[in-house]
Structure 1
Amino acid sequence: MLTAQAVKDHLPILRRYARALTGSQESGDSYVAAALEALTEDSSLIDQQTSVRVGMFRVFSKIWNSLEVNAAGKEPIDPRPADRHIGQIGAMPRQAFLLVSLEGFSEEDAAKILDISASRVRDLIDECGRELASQIATNILIIEDEALIAMDLQSLVENLGHEVKGIARTRGEAVALAKNKDLGLILADIQLADGSSGLDAVNDLLNTFEVPVIFITAYPERFLTGTRPEPAFLITKPYQPAMVSAVISQALFFDRKAHKSKSRAVG
Structure 2
Amino acid sequence: MSLGQELAPHLPFLRRYARALTGSQQHGDAFVRATLEAIVAAPDDFPRDVDARLGLYRTFHAIWSTANIEEDPGAGSGFEDAEGIAQARLARITPLSRQALLLTAMEGFTPEDTGYLIGAEADEVERLVAEALEEIERQTRAEVLIIEDEPIIAMDIETIVRDLGHTVTGVAVTRDEAVAQARAHRPGLVLADIQLADDSSGIDAVKDILAEFSVPVIFITAFPERLLTGERPEPTFLITKPFQRSTVKAAIAQALFFDTATVPA
SS of the residue aligned with 2:220? Answer: strand
Question: For residue 151 of structure 2, what is the aligned residue in structure 1?
Answer: 147
Between the aligned partners of 1:139 and 1:204, the Cα distance in structure 2 is 19
| Superposed counterparts of 1:204-223, under 5 Å | 204-223=208-227
| Superposed counterparts of 1:123-138, under 5 Å | 124-125=128-129, 128-129=132-133, 131-132=135-136, 135-138=139-142
CA deviation string 1:5-62 (max 9, x = no partner): xxxxxxxxxxxxxxxxxxxxxxxxxxxxxxxxxxxxxxxxxxxx998x759969xxxx
Between the aligned partners of 1:126 and 1:254, the Cα distance in structure 2 is 20
| Superposed counterparts of 1:22-101, under 5 Å | 54=62, 95-98=96-99
Question: Where does structure 1 lack aligned partners over 5 or more consecutive residues?
Answer: 1-48, 59-79, 88-93, 262-267
Asked whether the 8 Å contact 1:190–1:197 carries over to 2, the reply is yes
Establish whether residue 116 from structure 1 lines up as the match of residue 117 from structure 2: no
Give the CA deviation at 1:218.
1.0
SS of the residue aligned with 1:178? Answer: helix
Question: For residue 241 of structure 2, what is the aligned residue in structure 1?
Answer: 237
CA deviation string 1:186-219 (max 9, x = no partner): 0000011110111001000000111111111113
Asked whether the 8 Å contact 1:133–1:248 carries over to 2, the reply is no
Q: 2:201 aligns with which of 192, 197, 200?
A: 197
SS of the residue aligned with 2:213? Answer: coil
Between the aligned partners of 2:241 and 2:225, the Cα distance in structure 1 is 12
Assess, with a 3 A threshold, how the Cα gap between structure 1 residues 259 and 191 changes in structure 2: closer, same or farther: same
With structure 2 as the length reference, what TM-score do the two structures score? 0.54
Question: For residue 184 of structure 1, what is the aligned residue in structure 2?
Answer: 188
Q: Flag the structure with more relative contact order, 1 or 2, with Cα contacts below 8 A and sequence separation at least 6.
A: 2
Give the CA deviation at 1:134.
5.0
Give the CA deviation at 1:136.
1.9
CA deviation string 1:53-94 (max 9, x = no partner): 759969xxxxxxxxxxxxxxxxxxxxx9xx9xxx9xxxxxx6
Establish whether residue 156 from structure 1 lines up as the match of residue 149 from structure 2: no
1:154 is matched by which residue type in structure 2?
Answer: E
Pick the structure with greater CA Rg.
1
Question: Which protein has the bigger helix share?
Answer: 1
Give the CA deviation at 1:260.
9.3
Question: For residue 33 of structure 1, what is the aligned residue in structure 2?
Answer: none
Asked whether the 8 Å contact 1:145–1:170 carries over to 2, the reply is yes
CA-atom RMSD in angstroms:
4.5
Between the aligned partners of 2:118 and 2:225, the Cα distance in structure 1 is 33
Give the CA deviation at 1:228.
7.6
Give the CA deviation at 1:259.
8.1
Asked whether the 8 Å contact 1:129–1:247 carries over to 2, the reply is no
CA deviation string 1:231-259 (max 9, x = no partner): 63111100010011011111111223998
2:239 is matched by which residue type in structure 1?
Answer: I
Asked whether the 8 Å contact 2:139–2:263 carries over to 1, the reply is no
Give the CA deviation at 1:101.
5.8
* Matched residues, number: 181
Between the aligned partners of 1:144 and 1:223, the Cα distance in structure 2 is 18
Question: For residue 20 of structure 2, what is the aligned residue in structure 1?
Answer: none
Asked whether the 8 Å contact 2:142–2:166 carries over to 1, the reply is yes
